[in-house]
Structure 1
Amino acid sequence: MTTTERGPSRYVHDLILHSSPEELAAGAVPFLRAGLDAGEVAVIATDEPTAALLQDALGPHDRLQVLSQADVHPGRTPAAITALRRLADRWGGDEPQHVRIVGQTDFGATPRDWLEWQRYEAAVNEVLRPCGIWGLCTYDTGVLPDEVVATGLRTHPHLVTGAGRLANPDFVDPAGFLRGLPTPEEPLERTEPLLDVVDVRDYIGLRHAVGERLAALGGDRDRLEDLHLAIDEMSSNAVRHGGPPVQLRLWASADRVVCTISDGGTGMDDPFAGYGPAHGEDLSRGGMGLWLARQLCDHVDVVDDGAGLTVRLTTALH
């Protein structure tokens, strides 16, 4: 079932493309003012020059909130999803009211960084469906790479311009978009691993072996502890829910650590997995492993090749 077949969503995900401050203000200011006039809370979460521009155009208002860019879009995508849910809980109100947010994402400096936010832009259409948020994402076409702009056009159902709001003809079903994204190659996987366990039987022994290898790397302690926890969660998931054999491989270079956990089970055809707890707010039911891993690691890739499932975790050492 596609997202559109599931019926309307409370979450609204719009895009404004701009190449100048004036072009941005022409679309964003009426968007925010309409929310304020309707009794909604309006939020600006952009860089400081953009926030100042929009504030000056709107003037003071007791329901206008100005947050830092990092408040709404922190460094990793699960933290951004959590931040938006909290804003919805705090200011979203009952239907049909929303909290209106003009947000600006820092996509990072490399294609590997972009990919995590490309996934995010598609996934939020599904995972934020219950949230009373009307978001307007700002994309500066003079700054952002063409690849990122193209993603924006494929992941936002509506476009906002100075002339108004219109349906986006380039929007595609989020699940299909996510399934179509490539899995980046990882050169470290072509080198000799630090640890290669081809058939995990001793889970406790595996945990200790991974910990010893990571401790010997001398990287940032907190990052390595986070990675160790994510590996532990993914290994446990593979043993409990996948089919044998479960294999773990670990590599490291001077700047990053890579770990793959594979199983021989039936796979998992859910492109939204790990962008929220599997059972929503009921954390007692489990389903936290992949959600936790996405919070703990810089990059998480899930590969279902028809012969089982592989989860690849990547974290910078410093």
Structure 2
Amino acid sequence: MRPRGLRARLLVAFVLVTVLGAAAAAWSSAGSASASLVASTEQRLTDTLTSQIGALAPMLTYPPDQDSLDRLRTAVGANALVTYRDLRSAGTGTELITDALSAAVRAQNRVVTQRITAGDTPWLLIGTPVMLTAADGSRTPSGVEVYTADDLTGVEQQIDGLARSAGLTAAVALPLAALLALLAAGSVLRPVRKLRDTARRIAAGDLDARSAPQGADELAELTVSINEMAESVQTSMAAMQRMQADAKRFAADVSHELRTPLSTLTAVMEVLATTTDDLDADARESAQLAIAETHRLVRLVEDLMEVSRFDAGTASVRLEEVDVVSAVRDCLRARGWLDRVELVAPHQILLRADRRRLDVVVANLAGNALRHGAPPVRVHVSATAEEVLIEVTDHGPGLPERVLPHVFDRFYKADTARARTPGSGLGLAIARENARIHGGELVASNADGGARFVLRLPRNLEDR
């Protein structure tokens, strides 16, 4: 498991570095002190032995007898061993003297030391030859060798004490390191938190949010960069909002201005429609095309006006108690689709809704299924305690994955080759807006063998 937050990572890293550094320094100091302690003890014991031998050596007779060896051993200490050829004077603990130490003393003719452990007890073995000094100052071995075995348990206890002190030092450094890490993390993360809060405010729509840079470090440079980014985003958003407002106002104005001439043109087309039978074939075809295109233009203007009302927030609902099943059936019957669309529904489902807007949604969904899907087209109406669902499915090719995210976009057509289809490209967008104005939602997906649209309306009989 790893710390996930930046604060936690900073704390862990700072504490680890501090504690490891303190521990390394303490252990290094303890190791140096231990080595110095052992070396000084060894030097002290060696100096003591050589001084004792130096004081007694002139009083010995050479070659020495057993009594001379015993006197020398007694003077050196109870843990000493004195040898001369086949003669030996041994005290306690001298059985620890190794053959390797004896061989080194004889070969080197100088003081030799050796550290061993016997029975979990550390020992220092010292061996030295007794040297004879001639009148001319030259020194020669006398053949007498002195060995001692000194218990180093006290020194080991002192070394253990140093190790405990090193561990205690590292333990004491832990809370201090944590405190320093908290202070350091706070000073480092405070501007980061301010930047986070500023970014959240910008993401929430407050494009005036800024952070004041402090200091001249990398965080201050990051703050300046974020402020510049926010300024650029705000400028771009303001320009985009102005363009969107202009586009919406243009669409509303154009659709409103077209309404009167289109009403006149529609009346003319109705009169023309009554006289097409008297025209020749080419003229009749042209007249019928003009009538169809006029009707298409009227629907487009009506859709634009409806979208403009949604954008302006002036669209309203006239709630009444509606039998959803009856409303769906009437929608299909009015457009002559009852024989082409299968309606699956219970006998009655009551809902407070705007019947006209519900008719618009169902007509758009069923019409799309008939135009772009394949039979059978099915409308399934159901209800739960919380909502009413109207599901429209077909058995066509379905919606491509690239189309699903844009299916409710205005003027979006999946197939650019169908630019002259009867639809305005606003039907599904208007259908979703009508669903949302009721507090519901309209979603699109793919079912087995075709497209699937589901209208969800909250089942709340109270006026909203």
Specify the TM-score bucket, using the shorter chain as the normaliser.
0.3 to 0.5
Name whichever structure is richer in helix by fraction: 2
> What TM-score results when the alignment is normalised by the length of structure 2?
0.26
> What TM-score results when the alignment is normalised by the length of structure 1?
0.36
Looking at CA atoms only, which structure, 1 or 2, has the larger radius of gyration? 2
